[in-house]
Amino acid sequence: MATCKVCGDECEALMSVKQDGKTKKMCEDCADRAREANEIAEASESVVQGMMGFKGRR
Ligand SMILES: [Zn+2]
């Protein structure tokens, strides 16, 4: 048994998920959530970059 450091629940196996360039160990539930958050972060990042590119005309 291992304890997930993200939600504090005990789980059978921890998964390694890369977040903010660091590998974090968490349970499957948290790994799913982290992956979703990563996708959202990436999506909003590209939106911000697109906006900056649009506003930052030279
Ligand atoms: Zn967890």
* Domain, as residue range, for 19: 2-55
All residues at 6 or more sequence positions from 29 whose CB lies less than 8 Å from its CB, including other chains:
4, 7, 9, 11
Distance between CA atoms of 35 and 6, rounded to whole angstroms?
Answer: 13
pLDDT in tens, 29-52: 999 999 999 899 999 999 988 888
Rounded to the nearest angstrom, the distance between the alpha carbon of 22 and the centre of ligand 1 is 17
Run of H or E including 18: strand 15-19
Which range, of 13-17, 23-27, 38-42, 48-52, averages the lowest pLDDT? 48-52
Ligand 1 center to residue 53 CA distance, Å?
38
pTM exceeding the 0.85 threshold for the entire prediction: no
| Per-residue pLDDT at 21 exceeds 80 | yes
Query: What is the Cα 33 distance to its own chain's centre?
Result: 7
Ligand 1 centre distance from Cα of residue 40 (Å): 19
pLDDT over 90 (residue 7): yes
Domain count for the chain: 1
Mean pLDDT of 16-38: 91
Q: What is the pLDDT of residue 51?
A: 83
